[in-house]
Structure formats: C-alpha cells, structure tokens
Amino acid sequence: MAASPAASPPRRRRPRDGSPRRGDNRKPRPSPSPSPSPSPDRDADRRRRRSRASPPDRDADRRRRHDPNLSEGNGVAKPTKADDPPRSRARVSDGEEEDGRRARRPRASDDEKEGDRRRRRPRDSDDGRDDRRGSKRDRDRDRRRRRRSPSSESGSSPDDRRRRHRRDEGSKRREEHRGREERRESPERKEPTPPLPPPPPLPEMIPGRTGGIYIPPFRMAQMLRDVEDKASPEYQRLTWDALKKSINGLVNKVNATNIKNLVPELLAENLVRGRGLFCQSCIKSQMASPGFTDVFAALVAVVNTKFPEIGRLLLVRVMLQLKRAYKRNDKPQLLAATKFIAHLVNQVVVHELVALELLTVLLDNPSDDSVEVAVGFVKECGAILQDLTPQGLHAMFERFRGILHEGEIDKRVQFLIEGLFAIRKAKFQGFPAIRPELDLVEQEDQFTHDMSLETELDPETNLNVFRVNPNFAEDEKAYENLKKSILGEDDEDEEGSDDASDGEDEEESDDEEDEEQMEIRDKTETNLINLRRTIYLTIMSSVDFEEAGHKLLKIKLEPGQEMELNIMLLECCSQERTYLRYYGLLGQRFCMINKVFQENFEKCFVQQYSMIHRLETNKLRNVAKFFAHLLGTDALPWHVLAYIRLTEEDTTSSSRIFIKILFQELSEHLGIRLLNERLNDPNMQASFESVFPRDHPKNTRFSINFFTSIGLGGITESLREYLKNMPRMIMQQQKPPSPSESESSGGSSDSGSSSESESSSDESEKKRRKRRKK
C-alpha cells in the first residue's frame, strides 16, 4: 500500500534543466508516472483518517497561511514554492497537506528560510485584500492541480499533444497564406499609380539671369538668330549677357604679351553700352591679382584715348573704393586701390596732383598701416613724380623724414622708409614708371583726369544692370560706325580687298619667280650659341695663352663676330675666383695681332664701366685688373680713361672701387714715377681731364682726396699746384686789363725779354768759364 503524503519526506524543486541542486546528494527522482485510479483499500484508509481527525477550519487556515503575523505567532513558517507538493501528485485534503508541511518544516535549511524571507513580498494589512488575494491563489492552485492531475493527463499522450500542435501550426500558416492572397488580389492594388506630372517647360526667353542654366555659345547664337524682333527686350537681354561674358573674358585673358592683340577685340565690343561692365571687370580683376595692375592700367589707358568717359568712370569708382577702404581700415583693399591709382598716374590717365593729395591724406595722421601704404604708393609712381613734380615729391619725402625722426611708428615701418630713401637715391632703379611692352600710348594722345578726394562722386552703378533701351537699334548702328572709324576696318571692304589681292597675286606670281629668293635668317641664334660654346671650351682647355691664341685664331669668324671673342674672354676672366694673368696675356696678344680686337676691347671697357654697379665685388676686381694689364702693356690706348669722370655726383661705390683697383694695378705694373709721367704727358691731357677735373674746386679737391686715400697721392702734385693757384687765376680773370696797363705790360714784357736774354747770356758765359777751369 502506498505511503501517505503526510509521511513522505519533503521534496525539493529541481532546476529546469533537470540537474540536481547544489548540496543535494540524493539521486534525482524520476518524474512520477500517472498513477492508477485509487483502489478501494486506499479510499477506506483515507476515510478512517478523516473520521479520526477533526475537520480543519478552512478560513482560519487561510488567514494563517496569508497573514505573516499569525504564521509567526503560531510558529508556522510561510509556505514557499519549494514546499508545495509536486504537481503530479493527487489532490489531498487540507489537513493532510498541513501535516505534511509540519513534517517537512524541520528539514528546511537556514539558507532556504533566508531566501524565503527575501522573496517574501510586503502585503497590505487590510484583511479584505488578503482574503481576495488568498482566494485567487487558491483558485489558481486548484486550476493547476486539476490540469496536471493523473485523470486529465491519462487521456492525452505526448503524441496527441504533438499532433495537436502541428495541426494548430498548419492552420495558422494557411490563414496567413490566405490573407496574403486576398491582399494581393484586392482591386485597390491592381490599379496602376498615376504618373507624375511632367515638369513645366523652360521659357524660350528667360527674363533676368538664367538662374544657373548654362547656355552653350552655339545655342546662344542660334537664339539670337531666331529672334525676329531685334529691338525686343528678350533680344536685348541676350545681347547684354553675351556682351558681359565677352568683356569679362577679354579682361581676364589680358597680359603683357597679348595686350596688343586683345585691344582690337575689346574695342570691337560695344564699350559705350558696357562701360559699367568694363570698369567693374577691371576693378575686380585688379583686386584678385594686384601683380597685373600695370597691365590693367595700360588697357585702361588705351581705352581712355578713345572713350575718355570710361576712363573717368573707372577713376571715380577706384577713388570711391579707396575712400571706403580707408574709412573701414581695410588694408588689402586700400593697397590694391592705391596701386591702381599709382599705375594710372604712370600712364598719365590721372593727374599727378591726385597722387600728391593722396599722399598728404595718408601721412596726415601717420599710423603703421597708412605709412606702409604710402611707401608702396611712392615706390610705384615715384619715378614719374620725380619727372613731373620734383618739388612736390621732395615735400613728401621731407614728411617721411619727419615721421622717421619722430619714432612713433613700428621698427618695421621705419626700415621701409629707410629703404624708400635708398630707392630714391638710386633714382628709382628697379621701379620703372612704364615697362617698354606696356608703353602703348603717346603722352600727347592721352586724356588726363583730375579730381579731388573731397568732392562727392557718383559711381553710376545703374550701368552694371541690364535696362531696356528703346533706341537699341540706332545705338548699335551708331557704335558700328564708330568702331569702323576707330579700327579702320570694314568686313565688306576686307572681303573685296582679299579677292582683289588674290587676283593680283595670281598675275604677279610669274614676276615673283624671277626675283631673287629671300634670304633665310636664323633668329634663334643657334649658330651664335655654338660659337660661344666653342670659344669657351677652347679657352678652358688650353695650357697657356699662346696655345689658346693659336686655337682661337683658327676658328672661322664671320664679319661682325669678332666682338663675341672679346666678350667671351672678358666673361671667362670675370668668372674666375681670382684674377689670372693668363687672360691678360691672351687679350694683349689679340690686341697686338688685329686692331679690330683692340677697338672691340675699347667698347667693352665703356660697356663694363657703365654697368659696373651690376657686378659683384669679385667680378669687378677681375675686370679692373684685366683692363689695367691691357693699359700697362699699351695694348689698349690710354684715351679710354676719358670715359671715367671722377666726381662725387658721377661715381658710385662700385665705380670708385673699379677706379681704385685700376690705378693701383697700373702703379704696381709701371711704378709711380712712370705712371706720373704718363699722366702728365701733354699730348694726353685732354683724355685725363675727366679723371683729374679742373672745372670746379670741389671736383678737384675730391679727386685729390680720392687718390690720396688709395695711396697714390704722388700722381696729384700738378693738381695740387693748380688748386693752390686757382684763387689767383680766378681773380685775374675777374679783373679786365686797362689800355695803359696793357701798354705798360707790353713795354715791360719787352724789357723783361731783353733782361732775360741778357741773363741767359751771362749764365752761358759762366758755364764756359767753369769748363775751361776744369
């Protein structure tokens, strides 16, 4: 007979994966199989126990189970899930269940009790709420037990449950498939979606800007041809866009090499209508690339000769830009505007008084930026101001000097002012007013504009915007006639002249065949370069000057190419680190052989002395020693010294170094006595007047001091005597002689001559007596 549930030991709940609990050494019990239906013996035993035990109070038991205070007071622990009977067990009475709990209570470990307390949920003290919760839990427990009872499980096997599950899954899939088919075959889905409306067509003539739409040139030309009404606003708009694009393209392409070719193309456009566009394009391009300012100024100068109004409009806009930048302290824009005005002054488009007024404004309240802008402005147009208004430029430099002495500006700006004074002393070398390739307009043909910075100016910005012209056709025809008069070209005349010239060429072709063929000249100078290379290699590969001279004389030189030999010899000498006597002997040999080389060396002397400031110190020393060798050996005539003028104004530091080395080498080669005799030769005094000037005491004193400082004061003895007697000679020149004095001077001269003859005769007699005594 099976043991009663009350007497069975308590069971612990196993984990879901079926593994035994930690600390439980007992073997896991297999899941209970469905027990058979209760036997009659078992039912009798159960009835006997019920009759022996009094029936429990269900309400009190329920309150005791759910109320924690009652359970603690009675010493009964709250039942946990672990203490519940297994779900597979048959239902038993409440009394037996309570007895089983009491029997299992001592076996519960302290850890399980602690876990039960932690899992215990707080309950409301309200009895009604506890009763409702307890009744609900009882109903749930009874439902679970009923579901898992052996009687309910005996009727369904695992295979039945598996089949039922598959049947449910298949029905779900069929329902989903049927729903998809119904949605696919619904009439709303079968209707096609309406197509998008087509975009609106572009208008044929777009008013205003094209809105970013690019129109190719051929399309633009086709649109111009398709327009029937040549005076319509649409046609005017298209011609305006084409004019704007053409002017911008020409201005952006211009440079120093192609300006002569682009000027006719620019004048072929309607500049009267697009004068605002032209000025705007020039100013923007100059702001973007200030390095091409002189090119834009030359372009404006050419246009100004034909259309002075355009030149004035551009000057007005540049002046307004300058004033705006000055007020806003916009240094880059101010630099660009001043540079543009400076080059317009160089091109005589703007009067020089505008430049002086601008400098006065910039230097009135000097700051670092304003002084820097003024220095840059003077560098650009100082050369032309030196020729046009030297006094005004001198006043500006005095103002610069005062700013420099005040010392209130930055050191960097002070150095800029000092550099400007050095440039002025060098007569603005390196800062020419106009480059030769940009000198396109004669000064007599130029229109010069003058305006003040204080006057109110109108930029006429409305000229930059398209406006419908009611007299468009007449204006276009008038400009066509003006263009023909300016350019001197007519398309129809050109076609006729081309036809006529073709006919004449065909008629004269026979005559031209009999004429001599034109001589072909190589302007790439390939032969000249090859000749210089041969001369250089010959000079450098020779052992001594005699071998070099022999090889160089074998080179076949065409008439006029002898100068190349002299130039290459001088260049090779200047390129050496120190002077080599080899080059002097080689030059002497050529001068002695042919007089043509001697004359060429004279030209080289003049050319080198005029460009002596461009040579480095080492090259200058070698060249001076080379010519000193030629002068000392009489290979070069001494009259070449007439090209040297030794004064403070006519010499520079480089030229004075050249003269110093030249005369020191001559003194070493000839000696001071022989050099003095050469310089005092009466036949050569005309050639030495520039080296030993006697025109003014200041120049004479400078020459004496120069030769004394270089250790050659002995060659200036005659010049010292002349300087000492110069006041007496000046006094004699200032007093005109009277007639009586002239007669007396004549008588005295006669008497003086007679007395001199007598004295000379006495001296001759004394010499004869001495000879006799001997």
Q: What is the pLDDT of residues 127-166, one digit of tens each?
A: 555 555 555 666 666 666 655 544 444 445 667 667 776 7
Q: Which of 67-81, 124-138, 147-161, 233-247 has the lowest mean pLDDT?
A: 67-81
User: Is the predicted pLDDT of residue 53 greater than 70, yes or no?
Assistant: no
SS3 category, 633: coil
Q: When comparing pLDDT for 233 and 15, which is higher?
A: 233
Q: What integer pLDDT is reported at residue 736 of this predicted model? A: 56
pLDDT (average), residues 378-386: 92
User: Is the predicted pLDDT of residue 529 greater than 70, yes or no?
Assistant: yes
H helical segments located in 148-232: 150-154, 158-184, 187-190, 217-226
pLDDT (average), residues 1-21: 44
For 327, 505, 511, 512, 523, the CA distances from 516, given in Å and listed in that order, are 71, 17, 11, 8, 21
Q: What is the pLDDT of residues 708-740, one digit of tens each?
A: 999 988 888 888 888 888 777 776 666 655 544
pLDDT (average), residues 214-226: 73
Count of CB atoms within 10 A of residue 262's CB? 17
DSSP line for 478-525: HHHHHHHHHH---HHHHHHHHHHHHHHHHHHHHHHHHSPPPPP--TT-
For residues 398 and 349, the answer to whether their CB atoms sit within 8 Å is no
**pLDDT band, residue 349 (cuts 50/70/90):** very high
pLDDT (average), residues 16-25: 45
Q: What integer pLDDT is reported at residue 120 of this predicted model? A: 53
Q: What integer pLDDT is reported at residue 725 of this predicted model? A: 83
For 317, 325, 548, 557, 568, the CA distances from 528, given in Å and listed in that order, are 52, 54, 20, 10, 12
- Token pair belonging to 106: 């001592």
**Backbone phi and psi for residue 727, each to the nearest 5 degrees, phi listed first:** -60, -40
Which residue, among 313, 295, 301, has the nearest Cα to 347 in the 3D structure? Answer: 301
Place of tokens 């930048």: 325
Q: What integer pLDDT is reported at residue 125 of this predicted model? A: 47
User: Is the predicted pLDDT of residue 17 greater than 80, yes or no?
Assistant: no
Q: What is the pLDDT of residues 607-661, one digit of tens each?
A: 999 989 888 999 999 999 999 999 999 999 998 998 998 998 889 999 999 999 9
Q: What integer pLDDT is reported at residue 765 of this predicted model? A: 58
Percent of the chain at pLDDT > 90 equals 32
**pLDDT band, residue 211 (cuts 50/70/90):** very low
Buried b (16+ CB within 10 A) or exposed e, 50-82: eeeeeeeeeeeebbbbbbbeebeeeeebbbbee
Q: What integer pLDDT is reported at residue 224 of this predicted model? A: 72
For 204, 205, 246, 614, the CA distances from 233, given in Å and listed in that order, are 13, 9, 20, 63
Which residue, among 280, 272, 258, has the nearest Cα to 303 in the 3D structure? Answer: 272
pLDDT (average), residues 361-382: 92
pLDDT (average), residues 299-316: 93
Contacts 24+ apart (CB under 8 A), 51-59: 53/95, 55/95, 56/94, 56/95, 56/98, 58/94
**pLDDT band, residue 71 (cuts 50/70/90):** very low
Q: What integer pLDDT is reported at residue 628 of this predicted model? A: 93
pLDDT (average), residues 396-406: 92
Q: What is the pLDDT of residues 450-477, one digit of tens each?
A: 888 888 888 888 888 888 888 888 888 8
pLDDT (average), residues 680-694: 86
**pLDDT band, residue 284 (cuts 50/70/90):** very high
pLDDT (average), residues 744-748: 45
Q: When comparing pLDDT for 772 and 83, which is higher?
A: 772
User: Is the predicted pLDDT of residue 250 greater than 80, yes or no?
Assistant: yes
Q: When comparing pLDDT for 639 and 180, which is higher?
A: 639
For residues 130 and 66, the answer to whether their CB atoms sit within 8 Å is yes
Which residue, among 166, 405, 439, 209, has the nearest Cα to 301 in the 3D structure? Answer: 439
Q: What integer pLDDT is reported at residue 87 of this predicted model? A: 44
Percent of the chain at pLDDT > 70 equals 64
Compute the Cα dihedral for 613, 618, 620, 623 and give only its sign: negative
**pLDDT band, residue 758 (cuts 50/70/90):** very low
Q: What is the pLDDT of residues 673-683, one digit of tens each?
A: 898 888 888 88
Q: What is the pLDDT of residues 583-619, one digit of tens each?
A: 999 999 999 998 889 999 999 999 999 989 888 999 9
**Backbone phi and psi for residue 350, each to the nearest 5 degrees, phi listed first:** -115, 145
**pLDDT band, residue 34 (cuts 50/70/90):** very low
Q: What integer pLDDT is reported at residue 42 of this predicted model? A: 56
Count of CB atoms within 10 A of residue 337's CB? 27
Q: Which of 89-103, 325-339, 359-373 has the lowest mean pLDDT?
A: 89-103
pLDDT (average), residues 184-198: 54
* Cα separation of the two ends of the chain: 196
Which residue, among 322, 280, 275, 284, has the nearest Cα to 303 in the 3D structure? Answer: 275
| Mean pLDDT over the full length of the chain | 75
Q: What integer pLDDT is reported at residue 762 of this predicted model? A: 54
**pLDDT band, residue 741 (cuts 50/70/90):** very low
pLDDT (average), residues 25-51: 50
Count of CB atoms within 10 A of residue 658's CB? 23
